[in-house]
Structures are given as C-alpha cells and as structure tokens.
Structure 1
Amino acid sequence: METATYDDETYGQIAEAIAFLRQNHLDQPDLAAVARHVHLSEYHLQRLFTQWAGISPKRFLQSLTVDYAKAKIAETKSLLDLTGDVGLSSPGRLHDLFVTLEAMSPGEFKAGGAGLEIRYGIHTTPFGPCLLAKTTRGICNLHFLETPDRATAEHLLRAEWPGATLVADQSGMAGEYRRIFTPDPDRPLALAVKGTNFQIQVWRALLQIPLGGLTTYQGLAGVIGRPTAARAVGNAVGRNPVGYLIPCHRVIRASGEGGGYRWGTARKTLLLGWEAGQTQSRI
C-alpha cells in the first residue's frame, strides 16, 4: 500500500467524502455518488481514499454502521476485562507501543504552569492541523485546530497554562510530531498532563483501548471500578488535553452512535474510520 501524504488539501477532500458517507450511510451511497459530491473521478477518489484509510470507501462505509460499532464494543470489552489494573500508576498502550502518562503534582496543577516552559508547533496530521505542545517531561497538549495559526495556538495554551512561558518552536517540535505518526518502538512516547486524580485515572483507562477498539462511557466507568460514574467519566473524557494519543475518540454511546467529541463529531468519524481501516487492512 502507498504511504499517504498528509496535507491540508488531502485532509479536506477526505473529510468531505467521509462527511457525505456519514450523513448518507443508511442509503449506502456507491463510489460514483461520493466521487460526484467531492468533484473527483471515481478512480482518483478510490486511490486517494484507500491510500489514506487503508481500505476502500465501500469498506469504510461498513465501519459506520451501528451493528459494526456494537460488535466492536463487545470485542473491546472482552479485551479490557483482561487488562487488569488501570489505576493511577499503570502504563498505557498505543499502537502496540508503551506510552507513559505522568500527572502534574497538585502544586503544579494549582500553579497553572508557573515556572514551566512549554514549546509548541502547528503540524498537519491525517485528521487536520494540530497544535502540539510539550514540557521537558513530555507532551502536554495535542489540540486539533480549525484555524491553524500562532494566535489560536497561544490562546489555547494560555487558557490551560496561564503561568507558563510559551515558546514557538516549529522545527524543534517536528521531531516529536514524527514520533507520533511514525512510531519508533525503541523510543516510547511520554505524556505529562494536568488533571484531577479522577481525570488521570480515566485518561489512563483510555490508553488501554486498542487501536480500532470501541467502548462506552458506562463501560469505561466499569473499567475504573466506578460503574455509577458514567456522567463523570464522560466529563473527564471531554477534558482530555491530548487528542489522538489519549484516544477519547474511541468512546461512543451504548446505542452504537458516535456521540460528541471535543474536536468535532466529523473529526471523530475520521479518526474512527481511519483506525478501522488500519485494523481491517491487516486482516
């Protein structure tokens, strides 16, 4: 399979095609209908889509069905039942690699980043542009952006880290970006995040959900031993500061519908569809 090129034009075309598929999935639109909608030839769309997702638009459409989602929820539950402890000190897994998640101390939490230097850059991903930021201890934020400019990036970071020193470092952060989307098994990723103990526990539990897996808010509450706290779990999921790496997009409604997402439901569909493609293409 060809390696996808991640650029804003490709993202826009893929996002438009997937939005059309999502809105019309009950009618099962064929390739010709999708190609007409995005103003591409059938050949070009098939090639571009398969290059990006790893599967054809037709197979991608199957991943949007409620039956598919419910089957994935059941499959993931079986895996999570075998995971074991997901307490405050357990490691997480991402793409078969270990990802360490370190929580800021209560003092650091209250200080709002005072004394911290946060370096950041804006990068193009398979799911649109993102702000990527890190401290000396690890990645602290990954936000998907609708407006990929420095002013927007600094506004987001300043809201979360009012006391920190912000340093634009596009070239320096490029290496960190490559490690996310071209993983190196010999260099695990480190995340350093700010949150309450409960939020940290939920985020650690999210790291246990495998690539292509799905769970529900109720299911995630059960995993952390708080079966009656589904609403609180949902709030913690929505406060995830590191998109994609802490995979909050893998939590959907028990009905099989996608539900909300901090960075937009269309992007959530993109993420889930891409992951479905990665796992299906391995079969």
Structure 2
Amino acid sequence: MPDRSPKPPSPELVARMQRLAAFIVANAERSLPLAVLAKEAAMSAHHFQRVFTAVLGVSPRQYQAAQRLQQFKTRLRDGEAVLTATYEAGYGSTSRVYEQVTGGLGMTPSAYRAGGAGESITYAVRTTAFGQLLMAATARGVCLVEFGDDGDLLVARLHDEFPRATLVPASESAREPLDAWMDALDAHVVQGAPRPELPLDLRGTAFQIKVWRFLLSVKPGRVVSYGELAAAIGHPDAVRAVGSACGANRIAVLIPCHRALRADGSLGGYRWGLERKRVLLDNEKRGG
C-alpha cells in the first residue's frame, strides 16, 4: 500500500514561511487577513494556511495574535499607558484587549504594565533533594516553579518577572495552600507520590499552551519524543516549535516537560539541568 502520509514542506517552502513569519512580526500592529498574507507568499489562501501551520505549528491567525500580544507586553513593560499600548499594538478597543490578552498575561493589562503592581504573588523557597525549589502563585494558581542552586537567585528572578508586584513569602501570608502545595510537590519529586493536581496560571502563546496541556496527559514513567508530541497536537512538522515550547515552560514538574525527549531517546534540553531531568525520569520509571 502506498504511503499516503503528507510530505513535509520543501526547504524552499520552509524558507518562504519563515519570511512570512518575519513579515507578520514586522507588521504585528496591522490587520493582516489571510488573503493578504497568501498574496504576499504568492500562494492560494488554502495552500498558504496549510503550509504555514505545518511549518510554524500554529495558524497564521494564531501567530499574528501571539506577535501582537508580545508587542503589547513590550509596550506595557516599557511604561506605555494601557490605552496607548492597546491601539499601538493594533487592538481595536480596550474591551477587545481585555478579552483577548488577559489570559496570556496572567493578569490584567494594567497590572502587567506596572510590573504586577496591585497583584499579590505568594512564594516559598525550600531545600529539596533537587536543590533549591521556588514556587509562586497568583490568585489564579501556580505561576512559577523553579529549581536552582541558589534560593536568593530564584527569588531575584521572580522579582525581575514582576518587579512591582507584592511578593509575599508564604510564611508571612494567610494563603496557607502554598505550603501544602510545596509539600505535595516535594513528595512527588522525592518519594514518588502522585503528581499533585494544582491550579495553574499558564501564560504563553496558544501553541505553547497546547503543548503544555498535552504534556499534562503524559503519565509518569512514560516519555514522548518531540516529534510524537508535535504529531499528537496536530502539527507533525512543528518539532522545533515543540522543543521551544518545552523550553519556555516556567512551571517545573507540574507541567512535565521532562518527559519530552529527542527522537533518538537522548534527553535533549531541560531548563533546570539535564541531571535533574535524568533523575526525575529514573524515579518515575521505578515508580518512586
């Protein structure tokens, strides 16, 4: 029986889609309908949509939305007023921007502009068998889990991400759940207890969140290659984009990007160090 699986885009088409992606980035504030982009690519709208999605891992519309959000975030971080940033980034109204981007920011635009001003983020640092562990949470859920060798450096990173937020050490906070969440995560990592099902405050592009949500379905003791993950979410040619999404994950273990490997079974990368990735996988294989 002949192989009817779709052929990957040619190098020429990949290069053309990358040029169009750069065009979208350069014109993120403009309205770029599919017909306009297809004409720029010298392709039919249907063909362009299919090839762009295969190469970039997201549709042209999703890619535009992600770039517009990134531009909006940059303007807010640079101190622009929310209204100015809204229109300069190409959003038609403040109501649209609040509908579309609050989930991607993890807080309201005004709070993000102020470096998290007005937001309370509770955090805790403790020593584990994996080194120093920091967990931070907003009212929406866990927004950051980091491993490192220096607890002060982990806290500094949190301050860099939310320079004007009210960062409250868990020991000084009335929000007791964070301590229990830390206990549950520590028990999972060290003792092999089930991964705790905690509320998560996910912030990323539509494609990144799709990757992270699939990783949540991968059971302990099992692994998936970046290629298998890409195929599972419907974007078999977006292997590199999947790897980048794994690398962008800021919520260690709770989003188990350590279960994603290269096609040859090698570890690939891991934000918190390959030795931690290796130990996590070994512990899961043994069932704790």
Contact in 2 for aligned 1:121/1:168 (Cα 8 Å): yes
Q: What is the CA–CA distance in structure 2 between the aligned matches of 1:216 and 1:205, rounded to whole Å? A: 12
Displacement of 1:104 after TM fit? Answer: 5.3
TM-score, length of structure 1 as denominator length: 0.56
Pairwise mapping of residues 255-266 of structure 1 onto structure 2 (< 5 A)? 255-266=264-275
Q: Structure 1 residues 159, 272: CA separation in 2 closer, same or farther (over 3 Å shift)?
A: same
Mark the runs of 5 or more structure 1 residues left unpaired by the alignment.
1-102
Contact in 1 for aligned 2:225/2:260 (Cα 8 Å): yes
Deviations 1:227-260 (A, max 9, x none): 1111111111001111011000001111111111
Q: What is the CA–CA distance in structure 2 between the aligned matches of 1:109 and 1:204, rounded to whole Å? A: 23
Higher helix residue share: 2
Name the structure 1 match of 2:183: 178
Contact in 1 for aligned 2:134/2:155 (Cα 8 Å): no
Q: Structure 1 residues 160, 198: CA separation in 2 closer, same or farther (over 3 Å shift)?
A: farther
Name the structure 1 match of 2:132: 129
Q: Structure 1 residues 269, 182: CA separation in 2 closer, same or farther (over 3 Å shift)?
A: closer
Name the structure 1 match of 2:103: 105
Displacement of 1:182 after TM fit? Answer: 4.5
Displacement of 1:109 after TM fit? Answer: 7.3
Higher Rg: 2
Pairwise mapping of residues 46-57 of structure 1 onto structure 2 (< 5 A)? none
Q: Provide the secondary structure at the position in 1 that maps to 2:137.
A: strand
Q: What is the CA–CA distance in structure 2 between the aligned matches of 1:167 and 1:206, rounded to whole Å? A: 30
Q: Provide the secondary structure at the position in 2 that maps to 1:263.
A: coil
Name the structure 1 match of 2:280: 271
Contact in 2 for aligned 1:138/1:192 (Cα 8 Å): yes
Name the structure 2 match of 1:73: none
Q: Provide the secondary structure at the position in 1 that maps to 2:121.
A: strand
Deviations 1:131-163 (A, max 9, x none): 1111122111110011123xx133211233344
TM-score, length of structure 2 as denominator length: 0.55
Q: What is the CA–CA distance in structure 2 between the aligned matches of 1:253 and 1:203, rounded to whole Å? A: 17
Q: Give the number of equivalent residue pairs.
A: 174
Counterpart residue identity of residue 271, structure 1: L
Give the one of 222, 238, 243 matched to 2:247: 238
- RMSD of aligned residue pairs (Cα, Å): 2.5
Q: Structure 1 residues 230, 170: CA separation in 2 closer, same or farther (over 3 Å shift)?
A: farther
Deviations 1:86-133 (A, max 9, x none): xxxxxxxxxxxxxxxxx9524637525343211111123342221111
Displacement of 1:204 after TM fit? Answer: 0.4
Counterpart residue identity of residue 265, structure 1: L
Counterpart residue identity of residue 272, structure 2: W
Give the one of 141, 146, 151 matched to 2:144: 141
Q: What is the CA–CA distance in structure 2 between the aligned matches of 1:109 and 1:220, rounded to whole Å? A: 31
Counterpart residue identity of residue 178, structure 1: D
Q: What is the CA–CA distance in structure 1 between the aligned matches of 2:253 and 2:164, rounded to whole Å? A: 26
Contact in 2 for aligned 1:140/1:192 (Cα 8 Å): yes
Contact in 1 for aligned 2:134/2:146 (Cα 8 Å): yes
RCO higher in 1 or 2 (8 Å CA, sep ≥ 6)?
Answer: 1
Q: What is the CA–CA distance in structure 2 between the aligned matches of 1:217 and 1:140, rounded to whole Å? A: 24
Q: What is the CA–CA distance in structure 2 between the aligned matches of 1:259 and 1:165, rounded to whole Å? A: 36
